[in-house]
Homo-oligomer: A and B are copies of this chain.
Amino acid sequence: MSLLAVGSVAFDDLATPAGSREGLLGGSATYFTLSASLFTETQLVAVVGTDFSPDHRAVFEGRPIDLAGLEQKPGRSFRWKGSYGDELNEATTLDTQLNVFAHFHPLLPETFKQSPYLFLGNIEPSLQLDVVHQMAEQPRWVALDTMNYWIRGSRKELAEVLKEVDILLVNETEVRELTLEHNLLKAYRRVLSFGPKVLVIKRGEYGAVLMTEGCVFSAPAYPLEDIVDPTGAGDTFAGGFLGKLAQLGRMDLPALKHAVLTGTVMASFTVEQFGTGRLETVQKKDLDDRAKAFSDMIRLDDL
């Protein structure tokens, strides 16, 4: 069952304590689909420029990622330049060039309009709503990511699209800014009143919290000794989380918890190399081994 993802494909210039790289394939939808495609068929809707070469396309090909919605336009692709300090927990943006992404208007191919699962990546809320309206059928679930820029500048439009959303995936500062509540349980109650039933809060090195009616599940990040590049960790988490949910075809609590585990483990691979380097080479066995280690790690054994 297909998972349709709308978002950005970009090129990143990155500097981390481990080194620096230029022109790496990045963007939220790139990390998302590479991660989700380990679990389910995915459909990508994004825009790139003429600098997106056949080699870049080849990164997606050979995986269950349908590129019919990847539009190529004259001009350059979205470019982002960022750096990380020793703590690795927050990027400093040095430069953002929207380029062809500035006029991105997602247009769904006919074959995408029946997808049962829809992920609205972090783009302008009015465009996210427009994508929902292009669907021929109501998806089984709709998930959404957003950021402080839209929460501040497009609150009304964001409120409109949130009414259509089942699963909200944001980070801790975003959920606080969106709900104006510092306490996460109170924030969840506000989110419920906006529309979504499931809230997933990404906390970087502190892992993730899942909130559903009557239940909270909190999972740490997978502990690693060497983190090379945190870029894309949150989008990889989202791809693993939603890809696993789509694969399971369920949204009950055990499924949601396992999806958190999957997202967590996938994110732990991404940060081990620059860009999508590690994510491109992850095998099912790597995933299974780390998922086993992770579930042992959080398990409270009988005394």
A254 contact set on B, CB distance < 8 A: 300-303
Contact residue among B215, B219, B220, B300 (Cβ-Cβ distance under 8 Å from A209) = B220
Q: Which residues of chain B are within 8 angstroms of A253 by Cβ–Cβ distance?
A: 301
In the docked arrangement, what's the CA distance between A258 and B224, Å? 24
Chain B neighbourhood of A283, CB < 8 A: none
A217 within 8 A of B: yes
CB distance from A173 to the nearest CB of B (A): 11
What separation, in Å, do the CA atoms of A3 and B182 have in the docked complex?
38
Residues of chain A from 178 to 195 with CB closer than 8 A to chain B in the complex: 182-186
| A72 cross-chain contacts in B, Cβ below 8 A | none
Q: Which residues of B contact A184 (CB under 8 A)?
A: 223
Pairwise interchain contact A217-B298, C-beta atoms closer than 8 A: yes
Is A216 an interface residue, CB under 8 A from the partner?
A: yes
When the two chains form their complex, are residues A297 and B215 in contact, meaning their CB atoms are under 8 A apart?
yes
**Other-chain residue from B87, B185, B206, B300 in contact with A225 (beta carbon distance below 8 A):** B185
Tell me whether B185 and A87 are in contact (CB under 8 A).
no
8 Å CB contacts to B: which residues of A284-303? 295, 297-303
B303 touches A258 (CB 8 A): yes
In the bound complex, residues from chain B placing their C-beta under 8 Å from that of A55 are none
A230 contacts B by Cβ under 8 Å: no
CB pair A248–B303 under 8 Å, yes or no, is: yes
Which of B225, B226, B300 makes the CB contact (< 8 A) with A298? B300
Does A255 sit at the interface, judged by CB under 8 A? yes
Q: A300 contacts which chain B residues (CB < 8 A)?
A: 254, 257-258, 261, 295, 298-299
Contact indicator B86/A182 (Cβ below 8 Å): yes
Cα of A261 to Cα of B184 in the assembled complex, Å: 20
A207 at interface by CB-CB < 8 Å: yes
| In the complex, chain B residues whose CB is within 8 Å of the CB of A207 | 218, 220
> Is A73's beta carbon under 8 Å from chain B?
no
Asked if A105 lies at the interface with its beta carbon under 8 angstroms from chain B, I say no
A129 beta carbon closer than 8 Å to chain B: no
| Known contacts A203-B206, A300-B258; A218/B220 CB under 8 A | yes
How far in angstroms is the closest Cβ of chain B from A26?
24
Q: Can you show 19 pairs from A to B with CB atoms below 8 A apart?
A: A86-B182, A183-B224, A183-B225, A185-B223, A186-B225, A203-B206, A206-B206, A207-B218, A209-B220, A215-B297, A216-B223, A216-B297, A217-B297, A219-B298, A253-B301, A254-B302, A257-B300, A258-B303, A299-B299
- B-contacting residues of A (Cβ < 8 Å)? 86-88, 182-186, 203, 206-207, 209, 215-220, 223-227, 248, 253-255, 257-258, 261, 295, 297-303
6 shortest interchain CB distances as A-B pairs: A218-B220, A254-B301, A185-B225, A206-B206, A216-B223, A295-B300
